[in-house]
């Protein structure tokens, strides 16, 4: 049997092998002999800046242990959850389609193709190298390709982000995702870090590897091919693309949260959806060394090279204008930069990105405020209209993709809006402007509240020199495409919505897991081709 021991705290410069030794000692004190110990999780405990620790969880094998022995040393029986795959018996007439090649699309495609199902992938954007060139050209020149950009293309929006793999869901598919990612080139420490990340530079190579693997299984991947219509056709579904119409036994819809034309098409086709809460706000940038020192204190220098750059996760809820509303940090990128993630030629969207080394001068994070369905008109697509209105207002400030930027001192206190020691990293560039002019009043009010509250938790968070760049509007989908327990839409029974765009995930890992679980449902219905 395997046991897991948690809360093994050591100084940051202690060799990791000491954690396994400590686990053995604890087990031995309870009369349990163990072997083959390995670290399963590492986190930073910085609650006491004078005594910062790395906290380990260790898994070890033992011959057996009584409940009394386990209680004595604080160990628990470790049971590794595994994916359960069952093949259905329904014979198929065609292939299975996957619409979108972000995390949900990639991992659902992998699951299907590896298990012998003929799979066709449709992705409106370019393959990863072409897409990277499209993004680089846009960030330097402002020439936007509306089909291949930071949001659309191989790998989805996560390709141009920090590559964070943090998730709050407890699903066996999540562990499977991390292991597969390592196999495709991710650093192995994502298997043990409590805050795993990859970095956009490493992600690009991994997506190329995933693409090659799918092709080796016989998958048909069609880049630069947008699906413009979806209709039930007999027992299957017919998809329309610029190349014509094609029949499939089933289609996984994994288009991400920015495919606004897809939402409109589904709405016109009577697919049942509902409005859901989402968030908008801006990006905030501090000097990374200031965040490190504020969160680690003198340990920042004492344990240089042993502690990762500091990250934060902040939230605050209060009643504002009669509604309980939250303001929170989102997608924090240590040592990263802010980029334009627009998909439309007349709108600005900001997003955070960093490389694996996280060695940039600034830390950045979204500061987002919750938008409730009750804030919006009854129209189902009103959330999209709300986002688009903010994006267009920001674009109108410069008449281009130069984003409105304001110092925290100016935003909070009316100080002169002049840059000091913190220089915005946003590409293509910024113009100094009051961000309240492009954000709704309740968003600006809550952002101000958040800055004061977060400064109580991280000293210097409302540093007057910190910079705000607006707007951040694509934190999550404003709609949920409803599906039943079998994961298909009752409106189009052969259409399986999944991932962030369908409203069932938030981040790379949870989206990939949702794609896997959706593919497993399809596999439980149909028999494979092999």
Alpha carbon distance 316, 285 (integer Å): 19
Return averaged pLDDT per consecutive 10 residues of the chain, 530 residues in all.
95 96 94 93 94 96 89 90 89 92 97 96 97 95 95 93 80 91 95 92 95 97 98 95 97 96 96 97 98 94 94 94 91 96 97 94 97 96 98 97 98 97 96 98 97 97 98 96 96 96 93 96 91
The fold for domain 95-275+477-525 equals FAD/NAD(P)-binding domain (3.50.50)
Domain with CATH 3.30.70.2700 in the chain: 2-77
Count the neighbouring beta carbons within 10 Å of the beta carbon of residue 178.
21
Answer for the pair 69, 32: CB distance below 8 angstroms, yes or no. yes
Q: Which numeric CATH code is attached to 2-77?
A: 3.30.70.2700
Answer for the pair 153, 125: CB distance below 8 angstroms, yes or no. yes
pLDDT value for 530: 64
Alpha carbon distance 288, 285 (integer Å): 9
CA distances from residue 48 to 53, 88, 290, 305, 460 in whole angstroms, order as listed: 9, 54, 17, 19, 18
Nearest CA to 18 out of 66, 43, 64, 55 is that of: 55
Domain with CATH 3.50.50.60 in the chain: 95-275+477-525
Sheet holding 403-407, edge to edge: 315-320, 323-333, 362-371, 278-287, 467-472, 403-407, 430-432
Please, which residues have CB within 8 angstroms of residue 69's CB and are 6 or more apart in sequence?
30, 31, 32, 75
Is the overall model pTM greater than 0.85, yes or no?
yes
Alpha carbon distance 406, 425 (integer Å): 13
Alpha carbon distance 199, 352 (integer Å): 11
Please, which residues have CB within 8 angstroms of residue 107's CB and are 6 or more apart in sequence?
177, 180, 512, 513, 515, 516, 519
Answer for the pair 253, 269: CB distance below 8 angstroms, yes or no. no
Residue 42 backbone phi and psi in degrees, to 5: -135, 130
How far separated are the first and last CA of the chain, in Å rounded? 36
Please, which residues have CB within 8 angstroms of residue 118's CB and are 6 or more apart in sequence?
95, 96, 218, 529
């Amino acid at each position: 049997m395997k046991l897991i021991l948690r809360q093994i705290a050591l100084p940051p410069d202690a060799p990791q092998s000491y954690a396994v030794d400590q686990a053995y000692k604890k087990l031995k004190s309870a009369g349990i002999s163990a072997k083959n110990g390995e670290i399963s999780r590492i986190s930073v405990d910085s609650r006491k800046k004078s005594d910062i620790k790395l906290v380990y969880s260790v898994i070890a094998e033992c011959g057996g242990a009584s409940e009394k022995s386990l209680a004595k040393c604080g160990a628990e029986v470790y049971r590794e959850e595994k994916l359960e795959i069952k093949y259905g018996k329904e014979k198929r007439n065609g292939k299975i389609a996957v619409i979108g090649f972000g995390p949900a699309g990639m991992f659902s495609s992998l699951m299907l193709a590896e298990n012998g199902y003929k799979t066709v992938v449709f992705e409106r954007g370019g393959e990863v190298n072409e897409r990277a060139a499209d993004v680089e050209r846009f960030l330097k020149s402002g020439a936007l390709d509306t089909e291949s950009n930071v949001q659309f293309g191989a790998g989805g929006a996560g390709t141009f982000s920090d590559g964070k793999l943090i998730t709050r869901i407890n699903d066996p598919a999540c562990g499977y995702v991390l292991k597969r990612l390592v196999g495709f080139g991710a650093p192995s420490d994502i298997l043990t870090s409590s805050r795993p990340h990859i970095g956009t530079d490493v992600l690009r190579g991994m997506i190329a590897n995933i693409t090659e693997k799918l092709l080796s299984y016989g998958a048909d991947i069609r880049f630069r091919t947008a699906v413009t219509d979806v209709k039930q056709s007999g027992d299957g579904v017919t998809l329309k693309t610029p190349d014509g119409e094609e029949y499939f036994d089933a289609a996984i819809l994994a288009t991400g949260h920015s495919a606004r034309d897809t939402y409109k098409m589904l709405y016109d086709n009577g697919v049942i959806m509902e409005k859901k809460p989402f968030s908008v706000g801006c990006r905030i940038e501090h000097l990374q060394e200031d965040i490190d020192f504020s969160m680690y204190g003198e340990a920042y220098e004492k344990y240089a090279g042993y502690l990762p750059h500091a990250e934060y996760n902040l939230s605050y809820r209060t009643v504002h204008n009669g509604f309980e509303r939250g303001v929170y940090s989102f997608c924090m990128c240590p040592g990263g930069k802010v980029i334009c993630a627009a998909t439309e030629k007349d709108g600005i969207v900001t997003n955070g990105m960093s490389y694996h080394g996280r060695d940039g001068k600034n830390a950045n994070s979204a500061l987002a405020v919750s938008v409730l369905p009750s804030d919006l008109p009854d129209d189902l697509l009103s959330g999209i209209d709300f986002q688009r209105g903010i994006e267009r207002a920001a674009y109108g400030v410069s008449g281009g993709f130069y984003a409105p930027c304001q110092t925290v001192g100016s935003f909070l206190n009316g100080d002169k809006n002049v840059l000091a020691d913190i220089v915005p990293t946003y590409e293509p560039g910024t113009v100094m402007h009051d961000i309240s002019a492009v954000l709704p009043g309740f968003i600006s009010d809550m952002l101000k509240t958040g800055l004061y509250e977060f400064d109580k938790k991280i000293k210097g968070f409302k540093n007057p020199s910190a910079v705000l760049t607006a707007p951040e509007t694509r934190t999550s989908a404003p709609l949920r495409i409803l599906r039943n327990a079998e994961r298909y839409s009752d409106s189009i029974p052969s259409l399986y919505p999944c991932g962030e765009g369908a409203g069932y995930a938030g981040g790379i890992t949870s989206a990939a897991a949702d794609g896997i679980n959706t593919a497993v449902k399809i596999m439980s219905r149909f028999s494979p081709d092999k």
